[in-house]
């Protein structure tokens, strides 16, 4: 056996920030060197950020990535890090290639490179290109067909990229055939609820399949609707967990591994191998250092405890909100605070993400607002220390009504649209980003006013069902005084209990309650999950135990609201299928579930 100390740099790049991402590579490589690592790995597409989407089709962006990679290699050597092998994701293209119909322009590659001695020594590319859910890589990348196996201190290390782990055949099967002692996998795997357990089981299964230890480094941070949770892991050849990084924070996971020494007979060169998926992969062997390091004391391994279900959802919402605001150049946010549960949770997420001093609330009472809608909101403002102002809208509504003869729903929606005008105006005046307060249950059924409460730049709870909104509010109140990296240290419960307990209402007409027109959310949300996230048709929904009359009504509500959802701002994805990148349905369609 040979010893190898590896470092997994779980960091937060920004799409398109080649110089900033290069700085991260150099900075964290220096940290790895300081920790005595023999090898440091960075996530998938680290140099460009992920996903780059159609930026991959721009030759100028591809060439900028290639030049940045060369500069990073030279800079590492110039800063005394040239002897440390650095493995990083980047955007690349083949040196030559014939463009065929059906292939993306420029033949871009979702690539990985080994940097050493000031040079780019090895290049490879993702073999399996995902084309489901939020992924459309088959549209913008071409497939790689090489598996690099690099000898580092007497250990053969193979490299694969993200989806190569999730699909049968390809690099994982070839890594076993190549006799690798370690399979290094670079990832940008987005978060969704309970995915951490699925990933760990997958890593364990693939390690046993390849017959070698597996090191899985994942990115962390928010990118538009996607949130990356880190949770990098290292498992042994038997699938046992050896080391694990914490979720939702940048972290350098350093681990000492005892790995099989490489076969001296397997020298540098290229060998074709059956990928077991109908393709051939060429094994590229390169030796950086053939001799094992002298025996050294092994440091204790880090195995971070994963967060519980509600904690990881909340952490994802905070991180997704923080990165969307910061990476898009905003310093502060503004939102309408109604005294209801949705806006209360959004305000709390924003306070945790940005600090209360950067959160501004507008209280917009109308003629139908209850006394508690103002006093409860004021109590939340006091507890959290956020900025606030009261802008009564009754006079504004009356001015409109003097010129327009509106009734029923049109009159109700007028109030919502006037509120939106107020916070959008304050946004323009002071440079705040507007946060919307709609939840997934409302978006699904169309219970949001277009150009009213749906107006804004980002929706922190867009992918959160109403029942989970209450769960998260209760959970957050239990964490007052708890030291977690994604929580602001409030001295008391940040959300007044009266807000959690009150019956939800839009307060757009006298005595209005959500229950006037919607079933109990405990009944509605499971039905919405089955229809929206699991794609069950009418008969399957009824067979699953949902009331047939309610099924017909809810299907109609969801289908008719597609045009509204298409105009809603982005928000963090936390479920298997969100409204946005995941679920893409036509607005104009005559298909109805019967």
Q: Which residues are annotated as a binding site for L-glutamine?
A: 132, 189, 195
What region does 524 belong to: left with phi over 0, alpha with psi -120 to 50, or beta? Answer: alpha
What is the C-alpha separation between 347 and 324, in angstroms, rounded? 15
**Catalytic one among 63, 70, 79, 126?**
126
Are residues 337 and 362 in contact, defined by beta-carbon separation less than 8 angstroms? yes
d(CA 322, CA 351) in angstroms, rounded, equals 10
Q: Is 162 a catalytic residue?
A: yes
Catalytic residue of the set 162, 203, 327, 462: 162
Number of neighbours of residue 389 by Cβ within 10 angstroms: 13
Among residues 4, 586, 587, 584, the alpha carbon closest in space to that of 293 is found at 4
Cα distances from 384 to residues 243, 308, 344, 350, 490, in angstroms, run 37, 25, 11, 11, 7
Annotated binding site for deamido-NAD(+): 413, 442, 564
Contacts of 269 (CB under 8 A, 6+ apart): 285
**Helix axes 371-384 and 341-354, enclosed angle (nearest 10):** 20
Virtual CA dihedral for 18, 20, 26, 32, nearest 10 degrees?
-110
The answer to whether 44 is a known catalytic residue is yes
Alpha-carbon distance 579 to 512, whole Å? 27
Binding residues: 132, 189, 195, 336-343, 413, 442, 564
Report how far residue 376's alpha carbon sits from residue 512's, in angstroms, rounded to the nearest whole number: 18
Strands 155-161 vs 182-187: parallel, antiparallel or unpaired? parallel
Order of all β-strands in the sheet with 359-363: 387-390, 359-363, 333-336, 433-434
Give the SS3 label for residue 53.
helix
Are 134 and 573 in contact by the 8 Å Cβ rule? The answer is yes
Tokens representing 506 are 């839009």
Nearest one of 594, 526, 588, 579 to 560, comparing CA atoms: 588
**What phi and psi values does residue 259 have, to the nearest 5 degrees?**
-125, 155
Q: Do residues 72 and 26 lie in contact, with contact meaning Cβ atoms separated by under 8 Å? A: yes
3-state secondary structure of 157: strand
Q: What is the dihedral of CA 147, 152, 157, 159, to 10 degrees?
A: -50
| Angle CA 233–181–118, to nearest 5 | 80
Asked if the bond preceding 387 is cis, omega within 30° of 0, the reply is: no
Residue with tokens 């699925």: 198
Compute, in degrees rounded to 10, the torsion defined by CA atoms 75, 78, 83, 85: 0
Q: What is the DSSP string of 503-549?
A: PP---SSTT--GGGTS--HHHHHHHHIIIIIS---HHHHHHTT--HH
Q: Is residue 130 a contact partner of residue 138, using CB atoms and an 8 Å limit?
A: yes
Whether the Cβ atoms of residue 12 and residue 323 lie closer than 8 Å to each other: yes
CB 21 within 8 A of CB 52: no
Q: Which residues are catalytic?
A: 44, 126, 162
């Amino acid at each position: 056996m040979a010893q190898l100390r590896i470092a997994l740099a779980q960091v937060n790049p920004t799409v398109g920030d080649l110089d900033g991402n290069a700085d991260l590579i150099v900075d964290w490589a220096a940290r790895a060197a300081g920790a005595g690592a023999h090898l440091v790995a960075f996530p998938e597409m680290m140099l460009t950020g992920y996903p780059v989407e159609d930026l991959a089709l721009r030759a100028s962006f591809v060439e900028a990535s290639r030049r940045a990679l060369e500069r990073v290699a030279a800079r590492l050597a110039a800063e005394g890090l040239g002897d440390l092998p650095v493995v990083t994701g980047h955007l690349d293209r083949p040196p030559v290639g014939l463009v065929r119909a059906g292939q993306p322009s420029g033949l871009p590659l979702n690539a990985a490179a080994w940097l050493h001695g000031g040079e780019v020594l090895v290049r490879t590319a993702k073999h399996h290109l995902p084309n489901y859910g939020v992924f459309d890589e088959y549209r913008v990348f071409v497939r790689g067909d090489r598996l690099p196996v690099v000898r580092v201190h007497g250990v053969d290390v193979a490299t694969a990229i993200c989806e190569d782990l999730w699909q049968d055949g390809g690099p994982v099967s070839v890594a076993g055939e190549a006799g690798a002692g370690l399979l290094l996998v670079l990832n940008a795997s987005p978060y969704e609820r309970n995915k951490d357990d699925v990933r760990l089981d997958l890593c364990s299964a693939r390690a046993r399949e390849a017959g070698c230890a597996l090191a899985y480094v994942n990115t962390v941070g928010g990118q538009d609707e996607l949130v990356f949770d880190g949770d990098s892991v290292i498992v042994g050849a038997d699938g046992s967990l050896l080391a694990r990084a914490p979720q939702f924070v940048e972290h350098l996971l350093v681990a000492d591994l005892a790995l099989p020494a490489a076969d001296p007979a397997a020298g540098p060169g290229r060998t074709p191998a059956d990928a077991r998926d109908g393709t051939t992969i060429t094994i590229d062997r390169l030796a950086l250092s053939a001799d094992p390091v002298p025996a050294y004391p092994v440091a204790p391994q880090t195995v971070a405890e994963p967060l519980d279900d509600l904690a990881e959802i909340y952490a994802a919402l905070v991180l997704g909100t923080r990165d969307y605001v910061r990476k898009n150049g905003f310093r502060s946010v503004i939102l309408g605070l109604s005294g209801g549960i949705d806006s209360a949770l959004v305000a709390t997420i924003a306070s945790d993400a940005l600090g209360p001093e950067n959160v501004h609330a507008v209280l917009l009472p109308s003629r139908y607002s209850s006394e508690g809608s103002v006093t409860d909101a004021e109590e939340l403002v006091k507890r959290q220390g956020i900025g606030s102002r009261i802008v009564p809208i009754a006079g504004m509504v009356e001015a409109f009504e003097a010129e327009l003869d509106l009734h029923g729903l049109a009159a109700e929606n007028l109030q919502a649209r006037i509120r939106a005008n107020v916070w959008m105006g304050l946004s323009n005046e002071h440079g705040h980003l507007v946060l919307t307060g709609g939840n997934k249950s409302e978006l699904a059924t169309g219970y949001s006013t277009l150009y009213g409460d749906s107006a804004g730049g980002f929706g922190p709870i867009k992918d959160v069902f109403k029942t989970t909104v209450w769960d998260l509010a209760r959970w957050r109140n239990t964490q007052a005084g708890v030291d977690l990296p994604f929580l602001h240290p409030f001295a008391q419960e940040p959300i007044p209990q009266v807000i959690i307990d009150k019956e939800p209402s839009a307060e757009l007409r006298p005595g209005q309650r959500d229950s006037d027109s919607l079933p109990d959310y405990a009944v509605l949300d499971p039905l919405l999950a089955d229809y929206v996230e699991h794609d069950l048709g009418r008969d399957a929904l009824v067979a699953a135990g949902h009331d047939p009359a309610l099924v017909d009504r809810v299907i109609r509500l969801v289908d008719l609201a597609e045009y509204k959802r298409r105009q809603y701002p982005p928000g963090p994805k936390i479920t298997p299928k969100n409204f946005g990148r995941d679920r893409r349905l036509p607005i104009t369609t005559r298909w109805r579930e019967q």
